Amino acid sequence: MITGATSGIGKAAALQLAQLGATVVMVGRNPQRTAAAIEEIRRRSGNSHVESMLADLSSQQEIRKLAENFQASYQRLDVLVNNAGAIMLTRQKSTDGIEMTFALNHLNYFLLTNLLLDTLKASGAARIINVSSDSHQGAHLDFEDLQLEHNYGGYKAYGRSKLANLLFTYELDRRLKGSSVTVNALHPGLVATKFLANNGLRGRVFNLFVRLVGRSAARAARVITYLASSPDVEAVSGKYFVEHGLVESSQASKDKTTALKLWQTSEELTGVPPSSTEKMDLPETPTTDDATQEAATDVSQVDEGHKVDGSPDGRGPSE
C-alpha cells in the first residue's frame, strides 16, 4: 500500500514496484486522478495487479474506513508506504479539529500504521516506510503549542511534522523489537515538481531553481523502492535513508522522552488504545525561538515529494 500515490514520488514508486511484479494498492483522494494513475501504471508496467482505494487522509474517520476496507479485501500487507503529505501556508484545521499539517503529515501515519499493524505482523517479514524530509533538521516539538495556535508558519509546521515522522519511526522500531516487521524513514531529496509554482514570486523563483537542480520523481522514488524490495534491508529497522544510503538524523529526532510523549499524545488525539508500554513522568520539552525555528526550516530544505497549498480555503495534499 502506498499513500499519496497519484502524483510525485508516490506515483513513481507505485510504477517501479508494479514493474517488479508487486500487487500495488494506490491510495488517493481524488477519484478521477486516482483512476487515471491506475490506468497509466497498469499500461506502463504491464501489471494488472495495480488497484486503488480512496481516502482523505486528513480525516481519521476515512483513515479507519480505509484500514477496514483493506483488511476486508486483502489477506496480507507486506509493505506500507506512508507518503501522503502537504504544506499549509495558512493555518487550517482538519475535519477532526486538528491543525492540518500535523493531522495529515503525522497523525495520518500514526493512525493508519497502528490500524494495519496486526495485518503487517501476520504477513511475515513486512516493512513500514515513512517518507520524512531533511526539513526536520532544526525542528523541535513544543508540546505546549503542538498545533501551532500561536505564531503559525507553514514551513515551521512542515518541519515539525517531518520531525514527528522520525520520532514515530524510532519509537515504533523500539516497540516492534522481537517481531518480523521493520520500519524505516527516508528523505527523498529535492524533486523537480511544480511544488510552489502557484504561490507568488517566491514560489515561481523556487520552482525555477528546483527545475534546474532537482532530481526527477522517478529518481527520488528509488529509495522507496529499495526499502520496499531489496533483500539487503530485510532485517534493517529504525534507520533514516537518503539516496546514497544511511544518514544520521537530528539529535532532536533521537530523543526517546520526546518520542514517547509524542506517541502518548498521538494516542489521545486519534483514539488508538494506549499500548502496554509503561507510561512515565516526562519532563517539559523546551521551546525553540520562533525566528530560529523558521530559519531552520527554510524553503530550500523542503521535500518536493509533497504538495503545497497556498490558498486560504484549499487543502491540496498529495493525492
Whether the CB-CB separation of 103 and 96 falls below 8 Å is answered with yes
List the catalytic residues: 158
> Cell 488525539 maps to which residue?
269
**Phi, psi torsion values for 26, nearest 5 degrees:** -95, 125
317 within 8 A of 7, measured Cβ to Cβ: no
Cα 43 from chain centroid (whole Å): 27
H/E/C letters for each residue in 26-49? EEECCHHHHHHHHHHHHHHHCCCC
What sign does the dihedral 261-264-267-269 (CA atoms) show?
negative
Cα–Cα dist 77/167, whole Å:
23
Q: Where are the alpha helices (DSSP H) in the chain?
A: 8-19, 31-45, 60-73, 100-102, 108-121, 154-175, 200-213, 217-229, 256-270, 290-296
Q: Which three cell numbers stand for residue 89?
A: 501556508
Taking CA atoms, 57 is separated from 34, 189, 254, in Å, by 14, 23, 26
DSSP letter assigned to residue 253: G
Instruction: State whether residue 222 is helix, strand or coil.
Output: helix
Listed residue (296, 289, 290, 318) closest to 305, CA to CA: 318
